[in-house]
Chains A and B, each alone.
Chain A
Amino acid sequence: MANKYKYSFALHSAWNYQNEVEELDKYSENGWQLVKAALFHRKYVKNEKIRYRYQLDFRRIEDKGRYIETFREQGWEYVDSTINGWHYFRKIYDPSLPEEEYEIFTDRESFNAMKKNWARIALVIAIFGGIMALIYGIKLIMVPSVPFLLLFLTFLIEFSVLFRGVLIMRAKESKRKRNRYRDSVLITVFFLTIILGTSSGIFLSGKRPNITVNRIPEANEESVNNERIADFEVKYPDNYFLDLGIESKDPMTFEVVNENGESVYKVTDTSFHEDDIRLNLKKGTYYFSMSCDTYYNLNCNIN
């Protein structure tokens, strides 16, 4: 007879991990026994003849053999571990046994140590998010654009949610009310936000034009008049930043022109050097144009 399998995809926050334990107990009661536990999903097999109670432990294991044996000695069967360090154990449920038989932490010190273990690792990740948020926050102030805003917000959310988790896990007493149903939804939204935020931030920054033009003087260069020197495409409306350097004997006119032939930026000078000139551009095709009677030297870049 083929085994019947079932999957569940609910995410849980570490600080509400007891929700997951209760969920696993519920599944077991309904005849679905855990066989595999991963970060984002769990796999169960149908077996109505048995009922288990579950417990989760978080730690970095140095000696897996000793670890599993220590649990087995007290009737705990090791089921699986997630990649980030949660270990799943179960014990056959016997209603005649006292409830404390289904606890793996019997003093506050060891329970707090386990939670602090998680908090220590999460704090490193939270701080990384905090530093990234700071970097993108500074970039956002200096060169305000959509990708930087997305990345800034994403890392800010990552930092705040994880840091809050760290504070909860480090708190000595956990008399907080657990929000049984909302937690799973919030954590799913959190993960999606992180994934969507970073990927769209990276995607949008890759879609920006990155055109560099370097014109150096050649002997007896002819004068140019409204020469179209480079085309570029703006794929989404945003601020774009122009670095421009002009050195010429006679005044040179440099322009950024849109597809209707309208000038969106214009400068006429013999010597001009400026970085990060902010241009608010709509979606469309643009080009650089220049006019000069004599010898010139032009460097420009837009991104």
Chain B
Amino acid sequence: MKKSEPLSESYYYILLCLAKGANHGYGIMQMTEELSKGDVKIGSGTMYGATSNMMKKGWIREIVSDGAGFERRRQYQLTDSGRDILRAEIKRLKRMLENAEEV
């Protein structure tokens, strides 16, 4: 695999929030805030741009739930290549942390 660019904070958190299963934009936003204890926020413009881009790259896909009684709602799901990207990024971040501890 080609060495990829580091992910932006928003991209990273969106992928991370989808790691355990599909979620909608608002869920991603809330989960990001919880995980980062309010340090990272994903505004609507940032969210739309990031999800559009990652769908184009094939890292995530859109699924529309239309179960009875529920509001028709769009959710995002991680693809296999999205999972690979996330794993590679986590590895990179771990290495950077380990390096920091060594110094």
Q: Which residues in A have some Cβ–Cβ distance to B below 8 Å?
A: 55, 57, 59, 62-63, 65-67, 69-71, 73-74, 76, 89, 100, 103-107, 109-111, 113-114
Taken together as a complex, chains A and B put the C-alpha atoms of A66 and B24 apart, in Å, by 11
Number of interface residues of B (CB under 8 A): 22
Taken together as a complex, chains A and B put the C-alpha atoms of A89 and B47 apart, in Å, by 15
Taken together as a complex, chains A and B put the C-alpha atoms of A106 and B50 apart, in Å, by 11
User: CB-defined interface of B36-78 with A at 8 Å, one 1/0 digit per residue?
Assistant: 0000111111111111100000000010000000000010000
B31 touches A (CB below 8 Å): no
**In the complex, what's the smallest C-beta–C-beta distance from A189 to chain B, in angstroms?**
31
25 CB contacts below 8 A, A to B, read: A55-B45, A57-B45, A59-B48, A62-B52, A63-B52, A65-B74, A73-B24, A73-B29, A73-B44, A74-B25, A74-B26, A74-B29, A74-B43, A104-B46, A105-B46, A106-B43, A107-B46, A109-B8, A110-B8, A110-B10, A110-B43, A110-B45, A111-B45, A111-B46, A114-B49
In the complex, the number of residue pairs spanning A and B with C-beta atoms less than 8 Å apart equals: 67
Taking a contact as CB atoms closer than 8 A, the residue among A63, A73, A106 that contacts B46 in the complex is A106
Q: Which residues of A contact B10 (CB under 8 A)?
A: 106-107, 109-110
Q: Which residues in B have some Cβ–Cβ distance to A below 8 Å?
A: 8-10, 24-26, 29, 40-52, 62, 74
**In the complex, what's the smallest C-beta–C-beta distance from A20 to chain B, in angstroms?**
16
9 further A-B pairs in the complex, CB-CB below 8 A; given A69-B74, A70-B51, A110-B8: A63-B52, A65-B74, A66-B48, A74-B29, A74-B44, A100-B41, A104-B45, A105-B45, A106-B41
Taking a contact as CB atoms closer than 8 A, the residue among B8, B9, B41, B44 that contacts A70 in the complex is B44
Taken together as a complex, chains A and B put the C-alpha atoms of A105 and B46 apart, in Å, by 5
Q: Which residues of B contact A70 (CB under 8 A)?
A: 25, 44, 47-48, 51
**Max chain A CB contacts within 10 Å: which of B40, B42, B47?**
B47
Smallest Cβ-Cβ distance to B44: which chain A residue: A71
Q: Which residues of B contact A69 (CB under 8 A)?
A: 25, 74
**In the complex, what's the smallest C-beta–C-beta distance from A102 to chain B, in angstroms?**
9
Taken together as a complex, chains A and B put the C-alpha atoms of A71 and B25 apart, in Å, by 9
Q: Which residues of B contact A63 (CB under 8 A)?
A: 52
**Max chain A CB contacts within 10 Å: which of B26, B29, B41, B49?**
B49
Establish whether residues A104 and B50, one from each chain, have CB atoms under 8 Å apart when the complex forms: no
Q: Which residues of B contact A111 (CB under 8 A)?
A: 45-46
Taken together as a complex, chains A and B put the C-alpha atoms of A74 and B32 apart, in Å, by 14
Taking a contact as CB atoms closer than 8 A, the residue among B26, B40, B50, B74 that contacts A110 in the complex is B50
3 closest Cβ contacts across the A-B interface? A104-B45, A73-B26, A110-B46
Establish whether residues B74 and A59, one from each chain, have CB atoms under 8 Å apart when the complex forms: no
Establish whether residues A104 and B8, one from each chain, have CB atoms under 8 Å apart when the complex forms: no
Q: Which residues of B contact A65 (CB under 8 A)?
A: 74
**In the complex, what's the smallest C-beta–C-beta distance from B8 to chain A, in angstroms?**
5
Establish whether residues B25 and A110, one from each chain, have CB atoms under 8 Å apart when the complex forms: no
Known contacts A73-B29, A104-B43; is-contact A110 B24 (Cβ 8 Å) = no
